[in-house]
Amino acid sequence: MTQAAPAPATQAVPGTQAVPATAAPVDAQTYAEIVQFYSHHMQLLDNAEAEEWADGFTEDGVFAQNVKPEPTRGRDTIAASMRRGVDRLKNRNVVRRHWLSMVVADQVDPGTVRTRYYAVVFETPVGGKASVYLSTTGADTLVREDGRWRIKYREINHDGA
């Protein structure tokens, strides 16, 4: 992490402006589904199940991050990229836990939901002490497909980057 050009200290949560004025909060059933989808999705990631994690994206899903020059496009590419990431982590002997919470979910149409949320990563070295590794905000477009939720577009913004 470099001490590069000063960024605005207060960063808007991505996607805040993206929800149409007609969108309404999702109902309790959809909210519970989405929170459980996110929880399972992050557990897969932290278990190094990169391919099962990537199955949470649509086939044409896009994963954008403010710390990357270009979004990653397509489930297979997303899976391959995350596989390299989790394999690198295995060699470092640390455990990471991705927490995703503070979810606001708006129903765009019956099969589409837009979310804005916070996520932090806790890191514990084997034999060491836990700490906060990273704080981020995120925004997703989720679509209902095969009776479950998948991510069509995800944008993650690392705080302080």
Residues near its own copies, by CB under 8 A: 1-4, 6-7, 9-13, 16, 25-29, 31-33, 35-36, 38-40, 42-43, 46-48, 86, 89-95, 97, 99-105, 116-118, 120, 122, 124-135, 137, 159-160
Question: At which residue do the structure tokens 């997303």 appear?
Answer: 78
CB 135, min distance to its own copies, A = 4
Residue 118 pairs in a beta bridge with 101, 137
Cα distances from 26 to residues 68, 101, 110, in angstroms, run: 31, 16, 10
CB 142, min distance to its own copies, A = 15
Determine contact, residues 34/142, Cβ cutoff 8 Å. yes
Nearer of residues 119 and 143 to its own copies, judged by Cβ: 119
48: left (phi over 0), alpha (psi -120 to 50) or beta: left
Nearer of residues 74 and 158 to its own copies, judged by Cβ: 158
Nearer of residues 9 and 21 to its own copies, judged by Cβ: 9
Which of 47, 41, 33, 58 shows the shortest CA–CA distance to 100?
41
Nearer of residues 74 and 123 to its own copies, judged by Cβ: 123
- Which residues are CB-neighbours of 13 under 8 A, at least 6 positions away? 116, 137, 139
CB 55, min distance to its own copies, A = 15
CB 98, min distance to its own copies, A = 8
